[in-house]
Structure 1
């Protein structure tokens, strides 16, 4: 379970990335965060695993405060949180297998990782993860030889090899074509349903949010302006999230089929 208690993020210039957010995300949910660029989606996501430090409030992960955690405690909490980035964040000159095995870094010493001393169990976990996203046959080729969609599947496999209990995905399909987007989103949904891994995903597309989320959270200027089931997110709700008085223009820009 993830819990945000009165969480705010204020940048040095005074801008509020997050504004007094209180909410709870339960185990096994598939949550999609929507909102305009600059609404606070990435700040929200990166605050959960402390890639961003919040200015006030507290974030709890399974009953442990990641906000207050230090040293080994912070390391252990982060080990349970996988992160998927828009730009894949792979070592492009390394093999697919080596990239997936980097998800095991939280379980071994730095020296062991630098020397590439992975156990048979580590390698089996990595191969199982690649099978789950249907690219096991690419295990021993370089990451830069893959398509964008395949590279994103490697990053998903890395989070699986990490044995993450929560996966945070920051615009994971923003740079992908429509067919590949569906494949990647199908992978994330299947993993959520089969492994009961909590998914928190930032998306620009309203259609994708409606199709895949069990719950949608709308952000506007760092504030939660909607929090409910996907079925409750009407076109009017999305218009309020995106803050555009011209509803027709808003829905065209964000992909709602009229």
Structure 2
């Protein structure tokens, strides 16, 4: 469970990133966060694992405050939270399997990981994770040789190898074509359903949110203006979230698949 209580974020330039957010995310939910650019989607997501520090309020993960955590406690809490970025966040000069094994760093000692001494079970887990996202054949390829969609699937495999209980995905399909978008979204949905992993994902496309999420949270100027089941998020709801009629580039036109 993730609980945000009166969470706000104010930047030094006066910009309001988040305004008094009160949201509870239950285990196993697939939550899409939608809204215009600058609505606070990335700020909300990055606040949950403390990549962004909040100005006020509290965030609890399974009843423990990550807001107040520091040192070893913070590292242990972050170990359960996988992060998937729009830019993939891979070490391009390293092999695919080495990037996936970086998800095991928090489970091993610093010296061991510094010299790439990973236990055999970790290597097996990394290979299994690559197999689950259908990219096992690229395990020993240099990451820079992969397509954008393949790199994003490597980042998903890294979260799997991390054995994350929560996956936060920040616009993971923004730079991908429709076919690759479907592959990535199918992978995330499969992980959500088979492993009971909680997924929170920022999405640009309305139809993706409707098709894959079980719940949609709409943000406008840092405030929650919609929070409800995905199947109840009509065009009228999205027009309220966006503050205007939907534009063509905010839709995929029809469900992918």
Band the TM-score falls in, shorter-chain normalisation = over 0.9
Please identify, of 107-116 and 71-80, the stretch whose mean Cα deviation from structure 2 is larger: 107-116
Aligned match of 2:45: 45
Report the alpha carbon displacement of residue 252 of structure 1 after superposing the two structures with TM: 2.3
Moved over 4 A (4+): none
1:83 aligns with 2:83: yes
TM-score, length of structure 2 as denominator length: 0.97
User: Do 1:82 and 1:162's aligned partners in 2 also have CA atoms closer than 8 Å?
Assistant: yes
Find 1:255's aligned residue among 238, 251, 255. Answer: 251
SS in 2 for 1:74: helix
1:231 aligns with 2:231: yes
What are the ranges of 5 or more consecutive residues in structure 1 without an aligned counterpart?
none
Aligned match of 1:193: 193
**In structure 1, what is the Cα distance between the partners aligned to 2:252 and 2:182?**
16
Superposition CA RMSD, Å:
1.0
User: Do 1:235 and 1:251's aligned partners in 2 also have CA atoms closer than 8 Å?
Assistant: no
1:155 aligns with 2:151: no
**In structure 1, what is the Cα distance between the partners aligned to 2:43 and 2:186?**
25
Q: How many residues align?
A: 254
Report the alpha carbon displacement of residue 256 of structure 1 after superposing the two structures with TM: 6.2
TM-score, length of structure 1 as denominator length: 0.97
User: Do 1:76 and 1:106's aligned partners in 2 also have CA atoms closer than 8 Å?
Assistant: yes
User: Do 1:79 and 1:162's aligned partners in 2 also have CA atoms closer than 8 Å?
Assistant: yes
Describe the superposition over 1:7-51 as per-residue Cα deviations: whole angstroms up to 9, x where unpaired: 000000111100000010000000000000000000000000000
**In structure 2, what is the Cα distance between the partners aligned to 1:251 and 1:186?**
25
Aligned match of 2:216: 216
**In structure 1, what is the Cα distance between the partners aligned to 2:128 and 2:3?**
31
**In structure 2, what is the Cα distance between the partners aligned to 1:254 and 1:173?**
13
Report the alpha carbon displacement of residue 68 of structure 1 after superposing the two structures with TM: 0.2
Report the alpha carbon displacement of residue 257 of structure 1 after superposing the two structures with TM: 4.1
SS in 2 for 1:50: coil
- Structure 2 CA distance for partners of 1:156 and 1:256, relative to 1, 3 Å: closer
What are the ranges of 5 or more consecutive residues in structure 2 without an aligned counterpart?
none
Aligned match of 1:173: 173
SS in 1 for 2:28: coil
**In structure 2, what is the Cα distance between the partners aligned to 1:167 and 1:20?**
23
